[in-house]
Amino acid sequence: MEVADPIPPPPQKEEPAAQPVEPIGQSSAPQPWYNSQDTSDDDINMELTDDDRRYLRLKWGKTYRPEEWVKLEQLYQEMMQSYDI
């Protein structure tokens, strides 16, 4: 008389194949506004006075470029006008 194994082994699951990963910096996703390269960046930089640069650098930090400071300031001013802050 044979005794049946009381606990059958769990079924084997097939693991899905790994999705290919895009190399860093070569994403096909849309780039955010702060990474966009606009041809008018030089124009913005030329229009800023030393006082403007100093003010924006102190307000937004030196990790941003001058054109990003201007965009941040524009967004901030729009928000200040549209919301009760």
Q: Which domain holds residue 69?
A: 38-82
Q: Is residue 42 part of a domain?
A: yes
The band of 21, judged by pLDDT with boundaries at 50, 70 and 90, is low
Does residue 18 lie within any of the structural domains?
no
Asked if residue 41 has pLDDT above 70, the reply is: no
Residue 69 lies in a domain: yes
More confident residue, 45 or 68: 68
Q: Report the number of distinct structural domains present in the chain.
A: 1
Per-residue pLDDT, 51: 92
Q: What is the DSSP string of 51-82?
A: HHHHHHHHHH-TTS-HHHHHHHHHHHHHHHHH
CA distances from residue 4 to 1, 7, 8, 41 in whole angstroms, order as listed: 10, 9, 9, 77
Residues 31-50: what's their mean pLDDT?
66
At 8, the pLDDT band (50, 70, 90 cuts) reads confident
Q: Answer whether residue 60 is part of any domain.
A: yes
